[in-house]
Amino acid sequence: MPKSGEVLIKVMAAPLNPSDLYYMKGDYDDFDVFKTHYPNVPGWEGAGLVVQSGGGFMGWRAFSRRVAFTRKTKGNEKILGGCYQQYCIADASHV
């Protein structure tokens, strides 16, 4: 269940970029660019259908629409759950 200001997206497509490969190999951890807590699903961005809204203006506006989105972050920290999974929670302002 998404919190206020978040949406639940059914992922339909997610690209494989060089940055995803670096992330999967753990290269970003060596330089402290992003702090990653393992196990973690990779994938920085994707496209899909918003199936549930946590509320808020942006969340309700995106509900039941096809969107492009980026994975949820908090500063330099990646929140668990990247775009290479069936469903992903994203900030409504990032769709």
At a CB cut-off of 8 Å and minimum separation 6, what does 64 contact?
Answer: 49, 50, 51
Q: Which domain holds residue 13?
A: 6-94
At 75 the pLDDT is 64
- Which CATH number goes with the domain that contains 50? 3.90.180.10
51-62: per-residue pLDDT in tens?
Answer: 999 999 999 999
At 33 the pLDDT is 63
For 41-64, the three-class secondary structure string (H helix, E strand, C coil) is CCCCEEEEEEEEECCCHHHHHHCC
2-47: per-residue pLDDT in tens?
Answer: 888 899 999 999 999 888 888 777 777 666 666 667 777 888 899 9
> For residue 1, is it within any domain?
no
> For residue 54, is it within any domain?
yes
Please state the pTM of the whole predicted model.
0.83
Q: What's the domain count of the chain? A: 1
Mean pLDDT of 66-93: 83
